[in-house]
């Protein structure tokens, strides 16, 4: 008998207010094991704020976030990666003056350090963990086809390649849930196509569940299993990409953005 898809992440009634600005108002959605779930919406809609809440950078005014049935709000920032959640940032967050290899190894160490310390700095164990980390990094380098960049300093790489390295940095911790904040933002057409292919490969070959924010509706249509649309902190629609694309409220939110802001950013900051 087929097992019903499990809810990996449950977000219930999530709200947060920044000094009078209601950035999120009662947002509910679930992400199922193995799917690519996209959050789309105009700039300033509250998309990144959802990631900052899941990552425990912000605390919500109301709501619940459960991951594998566990209450995430009872966990600290440092628990998040160990629980199996990794993220990328809208503005790339890598150590720009370090090499690709060094950045990827750091991605492992955010998870390893606690394990190694709890083992009482036992040398043999630490050594084994280090070797495993290096092996894991090599696998990701091969998977993302970035062998030629491994010794290069991140700041010397083209923007699209930096985004790919940041994806790698998130993947080396072997997350169960990967949060991608505008993974194609600022990319040219070719870089966007490459990134789309890697995101699908992560889902299919690694079996990772992906929650992805994307501003551009066109990009998510081919990739996502389900999409929700956020506008002014409220979820206005959820469904399969083809359903969402036709929804009048969604069309209005996007048309409204074009006509009122001329495509400009509605948010005060990113």
Which residues form the interface with ligand ADP (CB under 6 A)?
18, 21, 23, 41, 43-49, 267-270
* Cα distance between residue 196 and residue 184, in whole Å: 8
Residues 146 and 169: beta-carbon distance below 8 Å: no
Nearest C-alpha neighbor of 108 from the set 202, 172, 177, 178: 172
- Beta carbon nearer to Mg ion, 48 or 81: 48
- Beta carbon nearer to ligand ADP, 4 or 20: 20
- Beta carbon nearer to ligand ADP, 110 or 267: 267
Residues 115 and 78: beta-carbon distance below 8 Å: no
Which of ligand ADP, Mg ion, none is residue 139 near (CB under 5 to 8 Å by kind)?
none
Residues 10 and 71: beta-carbon distance below 8 Å: no
Min dist CB 268 to ligand ADP, Å, is 4
Q: Out of 48, 52, 149, 203, point to the residue binding Mg ion (CB under 5 A).
A: 48
- Beta carbon nearer to ligand ADP, 49 or 81: 49
Q: No. of H helices and E strands in the chain?
A: 9, 10
Environment class of 146 (CB within 10 Å of its CB; exposed 0-12, middle 13-18, buried 19+): buried
Coil, helix or strand at residue 233: coil
- Beta carbon nearer to Mg ion, 48 or 88: 48
Which of Mg ion, ligand ADP, none is residue 49 near (CB under 5 to 8 Å by kind)?
ligand ADP
- Beta carbon nearer to ligand ADP, 48 or 88: 48
**In the window 64-123, what residues touch Mg ion (CB under 5 A)?**
90
Instruction: Show the CA angle centred on residue 265, arms to residues 259 and 270, nearest 5°.
Output: 160
Which of ligand ADP, Mg ion, none is residue 267 near (CB under 5 to 8 Å by kind)?
ligand ADP
Binding residue count for Mg ion, defined by CB under 5 A:
3
Which of ligand ADP, Mg ion, none is residue 18 near (CB under 5 to 8 Å by kind)?
ligand ADP
* Cα distance between residue 130 and residue 116, in whole Å: 10
* Cα distance between residue 206 and residue 143, in whole Å: 10
- Beta carbon nearer to ligand ADP, 66 or 90: 90
Min dist CB 147 to ligand ADP, Å, is 33
Min dist CB 14 to ligand ADP, Å, is 12
Min dist CB 35 to ligand ADP, Å, is 21
Nearest C-alpha neighbor of 45 from the set 267, 270, 268: 267
The yes or no reply on residue 173 touching Mg ion (CB under 5 A) is no
What is the distance between the terminal CA atoms of the chain, rounded to a whole angstrom?
Answer: 46
Residues that bind Mg ion (CB under 5 A): 47-48, 90
């Amino acid at each position: 008998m087929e097992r019903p898809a499990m809810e990996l992440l449950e977000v219930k009634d999530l709200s947060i207010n920044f000094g009078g600005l209601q950035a999120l108002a009662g947002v509910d959605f679930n992400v199922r094991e193995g799917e690519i779930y996209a959050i789309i919406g105009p700039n300033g809609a509250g998309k990144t704020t959802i990631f900052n809440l899941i990552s425990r950078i912000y605390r919500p005014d109301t709501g619940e976030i459960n991951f594998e049935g566990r209450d995430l709000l009872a966990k600290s920032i440092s628990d998040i990666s160990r629980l199996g959640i990794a993220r990328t940032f809208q503005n790339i967050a890598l150590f720009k003056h370090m090499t690709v290899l060094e950045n990827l190894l750091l991605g492992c160490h955010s998870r390893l350090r606690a394990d190694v310390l709890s083992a009482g700095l036992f040398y043999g164990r630490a050594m084994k963990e280090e070797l495993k980390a290096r092996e894991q990094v090599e696998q990701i380098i091969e998977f993302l086809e970035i062998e030629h960049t491994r010794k290069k300093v991140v700041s010397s790489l083209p923007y699209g390649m930096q985004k790919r390295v940041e994806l790698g940095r998130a993947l080396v911790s072997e997350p169960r849930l990967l949060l991608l904040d505008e993974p194609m933002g600022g990319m040219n057409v070719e870089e966007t196509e490459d990134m789309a292919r890697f995101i699908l490969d992560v889902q299919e070959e690694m079996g990772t569940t992906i929650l992805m924010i994307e501003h551009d509706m066109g990009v998510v249509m081919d990739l996502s299993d389900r999409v929700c649309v956020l506008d002014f902190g409220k979820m206005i629609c959820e469904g399969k990409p083809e359903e969402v694309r036709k929804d009048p409220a969604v069309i209005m939110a996007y048309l409204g953005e074009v006509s009122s802001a001329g495509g400009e950013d509605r948010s005060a900051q990113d």
